[in-house]
Amino acid sequence: MLLSSFFAASLVALSSASQPPVVNSRAGIFHGRHLPTFHQDVYLGIKYAPKPERFAPAKLADDNSTTHLNATQYGVDCTGYGSDTNTLVSGGWTTLGEDCLHLNIIKPIVKKRKEKLPVLLWIYGGGWQQGATSDPSRYNLSYIVQQSSFNNKPVIGISINYRMAAFGFISSKEIDATGNQNLGLRDQRLAMQWVNRHISAFGGDPKKVTIWGESAGAYSVGDHINAYNGDAGGLFRAAVMESGVAVGAPLNGTDWYQHIYDNLTASVGCANATDTLQCIRDVPYDKIAPYGYVGLEWFHVRDGTFIPRHGQASLAQGRFAKIPIIVGTNTDEGFGVNGVDTDAQAIEQLTHSKRWNVNATVAGRMLKLYPNDPAVGAPYGWGNRTWPQYGAQYKRYTSIATDLTMFAPRRLMAESMSKYVEGVYSYRWDAPKFNNTPTTIGVNHFSEIPFVFGNPEQTITPLGNSIENMALSRLVGRMWASFAYDLDPNGHGVSGVPTWPQYSKIVSNFVFRADESYIEDDDDRVDSVAYINSLVR
C-alpha cells in the first residue's frame, strides 16, 4: 500500500524514541520495524506478487523505486486469515486471502562487515493445505537469526507465503489444459525470484540463498531441487529439508484430482456451466474457500516442466540441482492410522490410502518385511509395549508408514545426491517435543520444529524450561545458520559436539538428542528400506 497519512504520522511519533529502519530499493521504499531485544530490523508483509487470477500463475510485482511501503505488519494468510482480525468477514473468510503473496525479511544489525549476508529462506509445511508466515509462535525467525549473530555467522531470515489446497494445487483435465498446475510451488519460485532481484538492497547476497522447509515445505524444497531438470536458475545454492525430501509424497495425477475438481465445481454451483473453470474463478472467495480447503488430499503433480517426472527418477538420472543439503527425519514420524487390527485391514489401508498409492502385491510384500512384532515396530525403543486402543497392529503399521513417507526417501536422497556433490549431511531427530504420554507417543512428526526455531515463548509446541532442551535448540539453530553461512553445519561454535560427517565420507546420521547427540551408522531396516526405494511413487 502507499504510505498513508496514518502511517506517516506513526513514523513521526516513533522517531523521537528510535528511527524506524528504511530500505530504498528498486521495488520501493520499505519502512520496517526495529526489534531492540534481538538487535534486528524486520520488514514484514512485503508483496512479491500482486493478487493473482484464481487458478492461474502469479506475476512478479513491478518495480517502483519511489513508492513508500509499510512493512511493519505481517500480511494476510493465504487462507484469508491475517494479523489484522478486522479484515475477517462474518463467515470467517476474506477476499484478502487471495491477495496473500507476501514475504518477511529479518535482518540482524551487523557492524563493521562489508560483505553481503547469506540468506536462509523458510517455506512452511502443513500438508500443502494450511500454514502461514504470520505464525510468530512457531515460525518466528528472530531466534535463529539471533543465534547466527551470536556465532558471528550472521544470516538474513526470510519467510514466504504461498497458495495452498485447491488454490495452489488443484489439478484436472480443465486445469491441465491451461498448464496451471502446482501453483503453490510456482508462487514459492516467484518469491525466490523477488529475493534474487531485491535482497541486495537489504544487505543480503542473492548468490548465497539456502532454501529450507519442513514437511510439505521440505517436499517443496525437494521439488525445487528437481524442478526444470535441476536448473536452479541461480535462485539458491543449498537446501535444508526436515521430514520431507524430493521423493516420497504422492504424485497423484489427473485421474486422482478430477473427482476433487468435480466435487468443488458442484459444491459452488458450477457443475453444469459451459466453462467450469471460468465459473469457479468467478465465484466469490468467501463462497468457494470453505470447499477449497477441505481434506488433506492436496499434493504436487507431474506437469512436464516444473515437475517433469517422479522425483525418484530425477535422482536416479542425476537430473537435479547439484547443491549441498541437510536432510533428515524424526525417529517416529508416524502417519499411520488407528484401528488396524489384522493383516487384511493393513493391506486395505495400504492399497486405499491417498498417501501410499501401492497395489496389493506391494502391500503383501510390505507385511512380510515388517513383521507384526511390537518389539521392532514404531515408535521405536519402547520394547514390547503396545497401545491396543490404537489397534492390534498399531506399531507395525506406523513403522511401515514412517518408512514409506519419510525414512526411506531420506536415505534415497542422501545416497543419490552424495554421489554427485560434496556437502550432503543426514540426520535423525531423537528428541521429543513433549514428555511422552499415552496420547503423545515417540519422537513424531514436527518434533524438531520448536527446537529449530528456538522460541521459548511458544504456546503450541513449547520447549519448556529444560536446560537440555534450550541447549539442543541453540545447537541446531546454529547448525542450520552455519550451513547457510558457509555450507558446513559444523561451524556452530558449541563445544563437546561430535563432528557431523558428510554422507559421502561416512554413511551415517547425526542423531540430535537432548542428553547427548552422537553419530550413528545409517543402516536401520536395510532390506525394507531398499524395497521401498525400488518402487516409483
What is the rounded distance in angstroms from the CA atom of residue 257 to the CA atom of residue 299? 9
Average pLDDT over residues 192-212: 98
- pLDDT given for residue 14 in this prediction: 37
| 135-166 exposure pattern, b = at least 16 Cβ within 10 A, e = fewer | bbebbbbbbbbbbbbebebbbbbbbbbbbbbb
12 pLDDT more than 80? no
What is the rounded distance in angstroms from the CA atom of residue 325 to the CA atom of residue 331? 19
- pLDDT given for residue 442 in this prediction: 87
Label each residue of 281-349 as H, E or C: HHCCHHHHHHHHCCCCCCCCCCCCCCCCCCHHHHHHHCCCCCCCEEEEEECCCCCCCCCCCCHHHHHHH
% of the chain exceeding 90 in pLDDT: 76
- pLDDT given for residue 328 in this prediction: 98
360 pLDDT more than 50? yes
Band (pLDDT 50/70/90 cuts) for residue 358 is confident
What is the rounded distance in angstroms from the CA atom of residue 424 to the CA atom of residue 416? 10
142 pLDDT more than 50? yes
Cα-Cα end-to-end distance for the chain: 44
**Residue matched to cell numbers 512380510:** 368
Least confident among 102-111, 162-171, 331-340, 518-527: 331-340
Task: Measure the CA angle with vertex 315, ends 312 and 319; round to 5°.
Answer: 125
91-131: pLDDT as tens digits = 456 667 899 999 999 999 998 778 999 999 999 999 899 88
- pLDDT given for residue 361 in this prediction: 94
Least confident among 176-185, 186-195, 299-308, 422-431: 299-308
- pLDDT given for residue 299 in this prediction: 87
85 pLDDT more than 60? no
- For 48, other C-beta atoms within 10 Å of its C-beta total 22
Q: Where are the domains of the chain?
A: 1-339+398-537
- pLDDT given for residue 13 in this prediction: 37
What is the rounded distance in angstroms from the CA atom of residue 478 to the CA atom of residue 148? 6
Average pLDDT over residues 17-31: 91
Handedness of CA 165, 245, 490, 515 (dihedral sign): positive
136 pLDDT more than 80? no
- pLDDT given for residue 244 in this prediction: 95
User: Whose CA is closest to 537, among 217, 336, 313, 361?
Assistant: 313
417-461: pLDDT as tens digits = 999 999 999 999 999 865 444 456 789 999 999 999 998 877 666
Q: Which residues are catalytic?
A: 215, 333, 445
- pLDDT given for residue 528 in this prediction: 97
Band (pLDDT 50/70/90 cuts) for residue 81 is low
Average model confidence (pLDDT) across the chain:
89
CA 390 vs CA 374, 398, 439: distances in Å:
13, 11, 10
% of the chain exceeding 70 in pLDDT: 90
489 pLDDT more than 70? yes
- The 3-state DSSP class for residue 128 equals coil
Band (pLDDT 50/70/90 cuts) for residue 273 is very high
212-225: pLDDT as tens digits = 999 999 999 999 99
1-339+398-537: which CATH architecture?
3-Layer(aba) Sandwich (3.40)
Where helices occur in 444-511 by DSSP H, the ranges are 449-453, 467-486
Beta-sheet strands, E only, within 40-189: 40-47, 68-70, 102-108, 117-123, 156-160
234-256: pLDDT as tens digits = 999 999 999 999 997 777 666 77
Residue pair 158/106 in contact (Cβ under 8 Å)? The answer is yes
pTM here? Answer: 0.94
Sheet of 68-70: strands edge to edge? Answer: 22-25, 28-31, 68-70
**Residue matched to cell numbers 513433549:** 434
Average pLDDT over residues 199-224: 98
